[in-house]
Chains A and B, each alone.
Chain A
């Protein structure tokens, strides 16, 4: 069974601060997706990383896939209250069941104004 550990579990910061959240596994994934989920809503895809070492930027968000494709990080610069939400990483099985995404439990981020 592939597992994804996300850290920290909870993070509360002030507007304008920078932060990094992590997604780690002992398993190799074909790709890794990051989703953001707001209260009462379903998760929404932010980005997919595919290549080991890949870095993708989405405005103030920077996503990195580890060289060995076992881990990933999300860095937010100058966080804003609108960034508040549950950040979930999800790994695509590198075996035959490529439809099967393994989700971490998420990092709940609160950005205070």
Chain B
């Protein structure tokens, strides 16, 4: 079975540009999470969707960040405008239920110059 699929794997952009990260969760999973990983702060939860509905976006850093889940098989995380401090690895994860094992994608490494 296919795991969580993220794209792009790597993104290098300049400050001020819009960045869109994409995620396809595992089929049948009803919970989707976006995490950000940095050396300084580790893994941080940005937003949690349950049955395509955003439940908790308290981890979204600021208004420059937005996330959508238009259907059960697709989600996006958008940063507009991007800043150098947004440089990190962004992970999408899905799970069968709201609790339990998280299945992570391979991550999108973002570098903002």
Measured between beta carbons, the chain A residues less than 8 angstroms from B100 are: 48
Interface residues of A (CB under 8 A from B): 33, 40-45, 48, 88, 90, 92, 97-101, 103-106
Would you call the interface of chain A mostly helix, strand, loop, or mixed?
A: loop
Partner of A104, one of B42, B45, B50: B42
Interface residues of B (CB under 8 A from A): 4, 31, 33, 41-45, 48, 50, 55-56, 91, 93, 98-102, 104-107
Q: Is the CB of B98 within 8 A of A98?
A: yes
Q: Is the CB of A99 within 8 A of B98?
A: yes
A70, chain B: closest CB distance, angstroms: 19
A72 to B106, CA, bound (A): 26
A-B pair count, CB < 8 Å, reads: 49
A33, A98, A99 — which one has the most chain B CB atoms within 10 A of its CB? Answer: A99
Q: A48-B101, A98-B99, A99-B56 in contact; A88/B43 too (CB < 8 A)?
A: yes
Q: Is the CB of B43 within 8 A of A103?
A: yes
A49, chain B: closest CB distance, angstroms: 13
Measured between beta carbons, the chain B residues less than 8 angstroms from A40 are: 106-107
